[in-house]
Structure 1
């Protein structure tokens, strides 16, 4: 397969919006899932009129992996290809998505019907793979086994609106943000958790940032490790032609002032708009960030406006 050097300007294929009665797959592509949290999340999905089917990977324990690599890869493959499902919810993050992807045979999938894939953190690698290999828009957002996945919370309600009434979600607004570098950029959205983006670089499922509006965020990475990750992406050329950057949360990564000094050091010379303090990522009731959608970033106004609805 010839890998793209940039995303198509019109974005990726948009799956269908979710409707009451739709069957949705719930899998684990990474670590073991907290079962009480998952039960709350499943009830919340049912409250939207959806019919979640929990795969074995989301019920299987382990040290830091949810069952075997083969189990997780097979569950991911089935969830992405079975026409019965209209969405795939990754139950939780942790670690293991890269090992899962190592065993996925994309050439045998054919051209399955596009469906929404949702998750964040370690699931960044899955969203990238789905974008590169299947060409679908995905969603960096809250997960049913992650805790607090319930109606009344801003993160759940925002995700539910995006998935069930996508035309109502025209933009993301970040009132607490500030511009590290001002200006306006247009491009296709991509990105996610910084450490996962760096670990995907050079693989057959890395999504290029050229011409795109890149999201980065992370958790529990000391400033020197963030420096290493950003420097690796700079040296590899990954950041060279990005159109704009949205910096989400950097929870438990050291003092905010120190992290933002580092972001200034590593990003300000790229010559593109850079937004800080977006409420996307770990440690907040995050907004859901579509991956693969044409959008307009206004770093001074703190807005990300979508050119089209995220789903059809």
Structure 2
């Protein structure tokens, strides 16, 4: 199920499903969207504060549902991640989302919504930049390529100045799943557990030392989630180092033990996650890892 592709003059709805956004970043992001030719509609509770959340759970969920049901809104963009999206499920109505398909984009804590929306409604969602991430030109180009021109097959590759690595010249096909590693693991044993069967699993992380990456990948391996994949896309692992313990395993050694040892086609250093640029990945879309040319081929439209 696809949302309608984005055109200049369309309305982008802004929601805050998780942590509290900074007012100046929100305003800056709104100004950027307007400068690109889009209209903006703010959720009623975007500026709310409740503990460490951007408003009460039911209010944050109401903003999301309101944007899906508002036929004047063409796309839903999240303010930020942090923590809190998982608390919204009791208040979300997947049947209503299915009746009003539209573009929904975010990353980090939003990972859990991206995958659940696809799994429960077949709606292609988008792992990509949020409201405060619109300054980078390569990021903006990826938004245009995906959301404005993605009604046909296309390719995703790193900017020319940033190399992407591959462990093989082979190909792997499957639907894209995944996002932030911590959030992927948090779904295990719940009704929203990630399904990796015959999927291409995308993983990124931020500020977690290698031993914590190890623990999370071990959990996924014990749940047979890594073995079920057709291939992997490894994005940003921002500040995932432990500089004080040089004798410990490095991040690359951990990834070698859990990912590379499976001998599945894997792209490394794909520009998506908590660093810049942030390339947009369509969650649920049929894709192919092209190891020889070091790119991702999107094999079907992701918007209509």
Structure-2-length-normalised TM-score: 0.90
1:285 has 2:277 as partner: yes
Q: Distance in 1 between matches of 2:188 and 2:104?
A: 21
Shift of 1:207: 3.4
1:156 counterpart (108, 118, 140): 140
Structure 2: runs of 5+ lacking an equivalent? 244-248
2:179 counterpart (192, 212, 218): 192
- Alignment correspondent of 2:53: 65
Q: Distance in 2 between matches of 1:279 and 1:229?
A: 21
Shift of 1:187: 0.9
Contact 2:98 2:123 in 1 (8 A): no
Structure 1: runs of 5+ lacking an equivalent? 1-12
Shift of 1:105: 3.9
The 1:206/1:112 distance shift into structure 2, 3 A limit, reads: same
Q: Distance in 1 between matches of 2:184 and 2:300?
A: 25
- Alignment correspondent of 1:96: 84
Q: Secondary structure at the match of 1:216?
A: strand
Q: Distance in 2 between matches of 1:264 and 1:220?
A: 19
1:43 has 2:31 as partner: yes
Contact 1:161 1:168 in 2 (8 A): no
Q: Distance in 2 between matches of 1:169 and 1:281?
A: 23
1:134 has 2:126 as partner: no
Shift of 1:84: 2.6
Contact 1:296 1:307 in 2 (8 A): yes
- Alignment correspondent of 1:271: 263
Contact 1:295 1:304 in 2 (8 A): yes
Contact 2:234 2:268 in 1 (8 A): yes
Q: How does 1:296-307 map to 2 (within 5 A)?
A: 296-307=288-299
2:194 counterpart (207, 210, 213): 207
The C-alpha deviation readout for 1:188-246, integer Å capped at 9, x for no partner, is 11111111111012222233111111100000111111111111111112222111100
Shift of 1:56: 2.6
Q: Distance in 2 between matches of 1:207 and 1:22?
A: 32
2:303 counterpart (294, 304, 311): 311
Q: Distance in 2 between matches of 1:52 and 1:20?
A: 12
1:178 has 2:165 as partner: yes
Q: Distance in 2 between matches of 1:207 and 1:85?
A: 28
Kindly tell me the number of residue pairs found equivalent between the two proteins.
296
RMSD: 2.1
The 1:189/1:35 distance shift into structure 2, 3 A limit, reads: same
- Alignment correspondent of 1:6: none
Contact 1:97 1:122 in 2 (8 A): yes
